[in-house]
Chains A and B, each alone.
Chain A
Amino acid sequence: LAKTTQPISMDSYEGQEVNITCSHNNIATNDYITWYQQFPSQGPRFIIQGYKTKVTNEVASLFIPADRKSSTLSLPRVSLSDTAVYYCPQGGGKLIFGQGTELSVKP
């Protein structure tokens, strides 16, 4: 399975909205799109998943266009504690992780 593509790093400031986009060029018809967050010395933590259109939970929103070739994770009003690596793994079951996006939130 080819890996997804996302920016290596992003910087933001507290209180801003952050959008991280992922390319899913090889997504399969049945695959859901999932996002994970990882802090140092911890395993990844499941954040959100969706199939198409928009999904929102208490942590983030996920936007998926009709062609499903990309997705955008939106984090509203980030804080310092949102500094982490964010992954959008490929696959519907056997998740294939890329390098992730290292988000740095500054005061």
Chain B
Amino acid sequence: GAGVSQTPSNKVTEKGKYVELRCDPISGHTALYWYRQSLGQGPEFLIYFQGTGAADDSGLPNDRFFAVRPEGSVSTLKIQRTERGDSAVYLCASSPRGWAGASIPYGYTFGSGTRLTVV
């Protein structure tokens, strides 16, 4: 597609439930990133995929969070046993390729995000 698509745009779930958030990156973009953003804060890095593999998952807050990208395109962020503190906007971004030393980087293209509310 023309941009990064995230679904759903809004998700309300009960504490303790499991949720999946989907990201469709720009076609051909090999790098995919997940961030989350709380009100009044900048985006917080969660995980970076280069192709199908997670190249850096150091931002995942705990083992309740997991992300996959099985075919190197669509990615799903999965959150188990949701807590009220997980409420935030989850942003996905893609770029033609990931970071690579001294190569000129590509800017990220972000989606509009999924607003997750845990009640």
State the A residues within 8 Å of B (CB): 30, 32, 34, 36, 41-46, 49, 87, 89, 92-100
Given contacts A32-B104, A97-B43, 14 further A-B contacts (CB under 8 A): A34-B105, A43-B91, A43-B111, A45-B110, A46-B108, A89-B42, A92-B99, A93-B98, A94-B45, A94-B56, A95-B45, A96-B45, A97-B42, A99-B41
Q: Do A92 and B105 touch (CB < 8 A)?
A: yes
State the B residues within 8 Å of A (CB): 4, 33, 35, 40-45, 48, 56, 91-93, 98-102, 104-105, 107-113
Known contacts A30-B101, A43-B91, A94-B48: does B42 contact A87 (CB below 8 Å)? Answer: yes
CA distance A42 to B111 in the complex (A): 7
Q: Do B42 and A42 touch (CB < 8 A)?
A: no
Known contacts A49-B107, A97-B42: does B113 contact A43 (CB below 8 Å)? Answer: yes
Q: Within 8 Å CB of A94, what residues of B?
A: 33, 45, 48, 56, 99
CA distance A42 to B113 in the complex (A): 7
